[in-house]
Amino acid sequence: DEAIGSGLRDCSHIEEMLRLATAEPSAEFSGAIKRLLNIYHKSIKPMEQVFKYNELRQHEVTAGEITSKPMVLFLGPWSVGKSSMINYLLGLHGTPQELYTGAEPTTSEYTVIMHGERFRTIEGIVMAADSSRSFSPLEKFGQGFLERLVGIEMPHKLLERVTFVDTPGIIENRKQQERGYPYNDVCQWFIDRADLIFLVFDPTKLDVGGELEILFRQMKGRESQIRLILNKADSLSTQDLMRVYGALFWSMAPLVNVTEPPRVYVSSFWPQDYAPDTSRELFMKEEISLLEDLNQVVENQIENKIAFIRQHAIRVRIHALLVDRYLQTYYDKLGWFGDPYEVFQDVVNDPDKYYIFKSILAKSNVSKFDLPDKEAYQDFFGVNPISNFKQLSQHCSWTDGCLLEKIEKAISHELPALLSSVTKSSGAPAPAKACEEKPKNPWRKQ
């Protein structure tokens, strides 16, 4: 093979593993997406709008987002091989479309690589203005950010199934304001929407500092989507690599607050042949496992979207219940002669005194882990006066019923029923997010 003879690896297995030659999405898939859109617009969005949920979490769901392809997000320090990994998976090495890579921090932009009929680049301002895309909500992060957002379209079988997002490297000694846009808020937006998060490290410069710690806090609740990549693994001996693997887990332990640590892939994701006298068999097996993981996300995309919308609906419901509770407490305390401003400040600044959060836990089948921060409501009511809202009991009509009943029906019945019908028609087991068997530690392979 020419690739092997020229010091490059044979990459034909990528196409085989990702089944890129298979047919287009089925009619069942299109029908399920349509039903999901219908449930969202009928039962979830009205509650979202009435209680201004997007101003609490900066997370409104667009139709473009529901119909979009799965998103794979690449995060990590600078110069760890994020862009090289994308080049490798798409076979762009040595082509004019290749993403620029180098030893210095090279990616200062958020690059969205997606499918198109021909190769072209799209400015961030154009992407955000197009409401049919899933990126229109990014407009809220301002001009400074949109200048650093770029889209690349190209015809590619893998991009017909998935969208890649390359991000600026984490630079530990840089303050957020030096970036010129709200870096953490932008990262949160992409983290919330990613189906798979590849957190890439270079084993020769393992640096876990402040910016990375903040990122891990932002990934709370998304642990099942995180995959740690120990890239450039053939630049170390096996013994050193095992030491680095241990050091990585030691650094991550305080940051990843789950009993089951994220899956780690140890390999070298670029087209050059592995360095001599390194664990090439292990690296190849690891790469195959990662490709299987990526393929699973493509195969389970409709299940993952239903799970994402259901999770979103649960958060919207909790938010509505909390606003309702704040309102009820405010009116109870205001009475006939209370000072509205003083009562408002007292309730918002000290909700624990009135058991606002505890009463929601006691009465509404809500997990304490799903509750937002109390501080978030100080900011929320700072922008949205409490008197602007009506209580939940007033959001009912003879023709449409009650908003709370609708969203609860969607969470308890409609979305699980849609998930069940999709799972049956695909002949697949239960979806990956709901109950997946965790991959085993690569250093303990049989």
Same domain for 144 and 263?
Answer: yes
Task: Give residue 323's pLDDT band: very low, low, confident or very high (50, 70, 90).
Answer: very high
Same domain for 37 and 87?
Answer: no
Q: Does residue 203 register a pLDDT over 90?
A: no
The percent of residues in the chain predicted with pLDDT above 90, rounded, is: 35
Closest to 154 (Cα-Cα) out of 146, 168, 145, 164: 164
pLDDT value of residue 118: 94
User: Who has greater pLDDT, 446 or 407?
Assistant: 407
Burial of 372 (0-12, 13-18, 19+ CB in 10 A): middle
Same domain for 309 and 410?
Answer: yes
Same domain for 94 and 209?
Answer: yes
User: Who has greater pLDDT, 73 or 57?
Assistant: 73
Q: Find tokens 């790469």 and name the residue.
A: 287
Average pLDDT in the 4-20 region? 71
Give the tens place of pLDDT for each residue, 260-276: 678 889 888 888 888 88
Same domain for 261 and 365?
Answer: no
Q: Rounded CA gap, 380 and 384, in Å? A: 6
Task: Give residue 444's pLDDT band: very low, low, confident or very high (50, 70, 90).
Answer: very low
Task: Give residue 430's pLDDT band: very low, low, confident or very high (50, 70, 90).
Answer: very low
Give the tens place of pLDDT for each residue, 145-188: 999 999 999 999 899 889 999 998 876 555 554 677 888 889 88
15 within some domain: no
62 within some domain: no
Task: Give residue 133's pLDDT band: very low, low, confident or very high (50, 70, 90).
Answer: confident
Same domain for 184 and 245?
Answer: yes
Same domain for 347 and 249?
Answer: no
Task: Give residue 1's pLDDT band: very low, low, confident or very high (50, 70, 90).
Answer: very low
294 within some domain: no
Give the tens place of pLDDT for each residue, 374-397: 888 999 999 998 889 999 999 999
Task: Give residue 58's pLDDT band: very low, low, confident or very high (50, 70, 90).
Answer: low
Q: Does residue 255 register a pLDDT over 70?
A: no
| Average pLDDT of the chain, as a whole number | 83
Rg (CA), the chain: 24
392 within some domain: yes
CA 171 to chain CA centroid, Å, is: 21
Helix boundaries (H) for 8-90 = 12-17, 27-39, 45-50, 54-57, 63-67, 82-90
Same domain for 131 and 173?
Answer: yes
Asked if residue 67 lies in contact with residue 37, where contact means CB atoms within 8 angstroms, the answer is yes
Same domain for 255 and 382?
Answer: no
Please report, for the domain that includes residue 259, its CATH number: 3.40.50.300
Task: Give residue 77's pLDDT band: very low, low, confident or very high (50, 70, 90).
Answer: confident
Please report, for the domain that includes residue 386, its CATH number: 1.10.268.20
135 within some domain: yes
Closest to 402 (Cα-Cα) out of 345, 291, 320: 320
Q: Rounded CA gap, 78 and 173, in Å? A: 12
Q: Rounded CA gap, 236 and 242, in Å? A: 9
pLDDT value of residue 97: 86
Q: Does residue 140 register a pLDDT over 90?
A: no
CA 250 to chain CA centroid, Å, is: 24
431 within some domain: no
324 within some domain: yes
Closest to 137 (Cα-Cα) out of 196, 69, 59, 55: 59
Same domain for 78 and 214?
Answer: yes
Give the tens place of pLDDT for each residue, 99-115: 877 655 555 789 999 99
Q: What token pair was written down for 118?
A: 């021909």
Task: Give residue 209's pLDDT band: very low, low, confident or very high (50, 70, 90).
Answer: low
Same domain for 409 and 378?
Answer: yes
333 within some domain: yes
- Of 278, 310, 337, the residue at which a domain comes to its end is 278
Q: Rounded CA gap, 80 and 172, in Å? A: 14
Average pLDDT in the 406-424 region? 93
DSSP 354: G
Give kind and range of the element (H or E) at residue 265.
Answer: strand 263-266
Helix boundaries (H) for 300-371 = 301-334, 340-349, 356-363
Structural domain containing residue 173: 70-278
Average pLDDT in the 422-431 region? 62
Q: Rounded CA gap, 184 and 16, in Å? A: 37
Residues 205-231 as b or e (16 or more Cβ within 10 Å = b): eeebeebbebbbebbeeebbbbbbbbb
Q: SS3 of 396, please?
A: strand
pLDDT value of residue 432: 43
Average pLDDT in the 307-317 region? 91
Number of domains in the chain: 2
pLDDT value of residue 434: 40
Same domain for 158 and 41?
Answer: no
Residue 74: how many CB atoms within 10 A of its CB?
A: 25
pLDDT value of residue 4: 40
Q: CB under 8 Å to 147, separation ≥6 — which residues?
A: 124, 125
